[in-house]
Structure formats: C-alpha cells, structure tokens
Amino acid sequence: MPILPIDSGRYGSKEMKEIFEECKRLDYELEFEAAVANAQADINIIPRYAATEITEIITSDKITLNRIKDLEKISDHDTAAMIEAISELCSNNTKPWIHYGLTSNDVVDTSTSIQMREAFTIIESKIQILIKELLKKAKENENLPAVGRTHGQHASIISFGLKFAIWSNEMLDHLTRIDEGKKRFLLCKTLGVVGTGSIMREKALDVQKIVSKKLNLFPIEAATQVIPRERYAEMVFIIALIGSTLDKIAIEIRNLQRTEIGEVQESFKEGQMGSSAVPVKKNPIKSERISSFAKILKSNVNTSLENISLWHERDLSNSANERFIIPITAILIDDMITTMIKIIAGLYINKEKILKNIEITKGQIFAEFVLQLLISKGIPRFEAYRNIQRIAFKATESQEHFLKLLSEDKDIIKSITREELSSIFIPQNQLSASSQIINNIVKRAQKMKIFE
C-alpha cells in the first residue's frame, strides 16, 4: 500500500513519476549496458557478436524486475543482480563481455543522468508555459498602478504588471541555468572502478565519448568510481533555486490575498471548501502548498552538499539518500510548476481594490515624487526631505490628506505650484519605465523562443 503522498497520487504528475519508477529505471540501466557494448564493439574492444547478442537480449523484454529482485536477495547488490539477469540469457561465448570494463556506479550514475535528462525536458517545457502565463498577466496589467511595498510598508507606485514581468524574467534565467548546467551534470561515465578506464585502457575515453553521444549526455572529464557529487549538488541547487522563485511568487500571492489587502485571489471552484469550520473562507492553499514543497527542496540542497565529501575514490554514504532526494526533488518541482501555472492562469485580480489601496496612506505614497520635484527646483535634498517628512508625520497624526497639507505649507508652495503638485498625485503618471521594462522582458522571451 502507498506510504508517501507521491505514491498515492496526491502529488506529482504521471509523466514525471514514470521516469523514476523501478521498471523505467531498469530500462535506462539496460539501455546503458547495450550502448556500452555496442560502443566497445565499434572500436574492437569486444566481439561484435557479443554486442549484438547483449543488445538483442536487453531489448527482448525477457529481463524482468522480479527476476532481478530475486537475484538481489542472494547477492545483496542491485546492479550485480541486473548484470546476472542479462548473463542468464546469454550464450557462453557472450557472457565474458557483459558489463565489460564497467563498475556498478557507471550504470547507476549514467542512468540517473538519463532520468534527469528526461525530467529536465518536462521541467523546461512547463517553465515555458509558466513564463507565457506570467507575461500575459504582465501585459494585461501593464498600465495598472498599484502599491509597491518595502519592509511591508507602502513605498511608492508600481505597475501591477511589473510584478509578473519580474517573475517571468527570473524564470527565463532558470531556463538559462538549466541549459548551461546540463554539460556539468547530465553526465555519462564508463571509466570503471576508480575512474582510470583500467580495463579498456587507452580506448576508455573513446568508449565514453561514443556512449555519451548515443545517450544524449555529456562525457565526464574526470571521475573517481563515481561522478563527483559537486555535479549533483549543482543540479539539486538549480532545482531548489527554481523552487525558491516559485515560493517567492506564492508568498506574494498569499500576502496580496490577505483580507486586509485583497488585491488577488486564487481561483475557487464551485463546491470547494476553504475551511471545514468557517464556510466563508477562501484560502490560498495552492500557493501554500508550493511554499511547503520549497522547504523540502531547500533541505535537499544541504543533503546533496554533504554527499560531496566521500572517502577516497568513493564510499556508499551518498547512495541511500540519493535514492530519495533526486526523485523527490524532480517530482516536487514538477508539481510546483504545474500548480503555479494553474494559479497564475486562474488568478483573480481585483483592480478596484488595487487602486483603492493606493489611497490608504492618503497620498503619502507619492512622497518620493514630491521630493524629486523639489530637488529639481533647486531645493537641497535634505532640506526638502525634512520638510516632506514633517508634513507627512503631521498628516498621519491629523488624518488629513498629504496633498492638502503640502498645498498649505509655505516652505513647499514657495518653490512649486499647486498644479505641479497635484499632477504628482495621479497614479498613472508614476509608472515611469514600467512598460519599457515589461516589453524588454517580452522581447527576451521571444528571443529565447518561448512563444514558438
């Protein structure tokens, strides 16, 4: 029976989970063994007939997971059990050439790379969909002024669409990181027990190069018995970094959905229940789930960093935990991206409340622009700053509008006209370079062929 919610189907897409299923993992391991045998035959390390027979047996569906598990009960070694299962079906002439010159972690590490090659294909595709949704929201809200907050306080005016454009730009960066990182962590290794290619000798690197090309991977330049775990740490970190960006988006949505702010709301379908006790609740549960998963991804980075420090040419202290953290990291980031796509696509944006919130401070959100106007009139910065601050504090205390008190203050009005002052307090006038920034990010996405 299922133990983890991933197993029960609660989290993770079918296509991503299939990559990490035992049967699929076995397919990748067998694919690797066949690729190595054929590469070795191509350059006359093993007989061609042996490579042909190994390939025929591997592709015959006669090697079963159940048989391998039975053999593993005896050998207590999963890779050895897989090799023995191949050997059982081979002729005596071919048996010596199975797994020739390889060590178990050549199979294990390269198969993990194949899994992650497939996983990143899904991840990249979904990130592209998310970018499209984010940029759609960015353009739709390009000219909508909103409160920009720093330290949780009203700071200045922002284009509401700029929020989405910034997030999409970070996701574009993540695509670049993945693409640049593949040559460092989607690796093929065929260099044997301690990374010297000892059995294949001077042809070892040629075999690795051929196999890498067959499997659409990159050959490791140097390794011990295992691919250096710095490579896995980078891979897990990049995924956790993507998860952290999704967490950042989720936290912003959660905050903007707070009753006191009310600027956005996750979609809420008919029949959905926000609370078992409070019928009126509409909770941002999808965003909260993303934030929850992000904590797991971040913790997996620490584990992957711990795995770097192995003894000598390797030990097994990384092996067991990698069987958890690599599949879980890939499955969770896939779920998080899928969930965020749904959130953004169905996000309700309360434009009326966004505009209303600008006036919560009764005009004080425009203080930055008042300061700049005074400076442009030749008033020293700190003189202008202190006058504006004095008036703002007075406005807060008296609950009067900031514009009214500015218009009545002799130190302000002596330098600028009331008409100049009033024009500052029109939100649409303060979007500044927002449209240009948004359009530049759209152009970047187009250049990266996101919209093809």
For residues 188 and 309, state if they share a domain.
Answer: yes
Instruction: Give catalytic status of residue 275 as yes or no.
Output: yes
Q: Which of 368, 414, 408 is nearest to 389 (CA)?
A: 368
Q: How confident is the prediction along the chain (452 residues), in pLDDT tens digits per residue?
A: 788 888 888 899 999 999 999 999 999 999 999 999 999 999 999 999 999 999 999 999 899 999 999 999 999 999 999 999 999 999 999 999 999 999 999 999 999 999 999 999 999 999 999 999 999 999 999 999 999 999 999 999 999 999 999 999 999 999 999 999 999 999 999 999 999 999 999 999 999 999 999 999 999 999 999 999 999 999 999 999 999 999 999 999 999 999 999 999 998 766 666 666 666 667 899 999 999 999 999 999 999 999 999 999 999 999 999 999 999 999 999 999 999 999 999 999 999 999 999 999 999 999 999 999 999 999 999 999 999 999 999 999 999 999 999 999 999 999 899 999 999 999 999 999 999 999 999 999 999 999 87
Question: How many whole angstroms separate alpha carbon 232 and alpha carbon 309?
Answer: 12
Residue 71 and residue 92: Cα distance in Å, rounded? 19
Residue where the block lists tokens 């190595």: 36
* 269 plus 127 within the same structural domain: yes
Is residue 446 domain-resident?
no
**Annotated catalytic residue within 8, 275, 398, 423:** 275
Q: Which residues contact 310 (CB under 8 A, 6 or more apart)?
A: 224, 226, 229, 317, 318
The one catalytic residue in 60, 151, 276, 312 is: 151
Taking the C-alpha atoms of residue 84 and residue 93, their distance in angstroms, rounded to an integer, is 15
* 439 belongs to a structural domain: no
Helices (H), 186-262: 204-214, 229-256
Rg (C-alpha) for the chain, rounded Å, is 30
441 found inside a domain: no
Alpha helices (H) along 347-379? 351-358, 367-376
Burial class (CB in 10 A: 0-12, 13-18, 19+), 222: exposed
Tell me whether residue 236 is in a domain: yes
**One domain, residues 63 and 134:** no
* Domain membership flag for residue 443: no
- 42 Cβ contact partners less than 8 Å away, ≥ 6 residues apart: 210
What is the count of structural domains for the chain? 3
pTM of the model: 0.95
Whether residue 277 sits in one domain with residue 251 = yes
> Contact, 425 vs 157, CB < 8 A?
no
Verify whether residue 168 is a known catalytic residue: no
Tokens for 388? 């504006």
Residue 349: Cβ within 10 Å count: 18
The CATH number assigned to the domain holding 395 equals 1.10.40.30
Domain around 58: 5-97
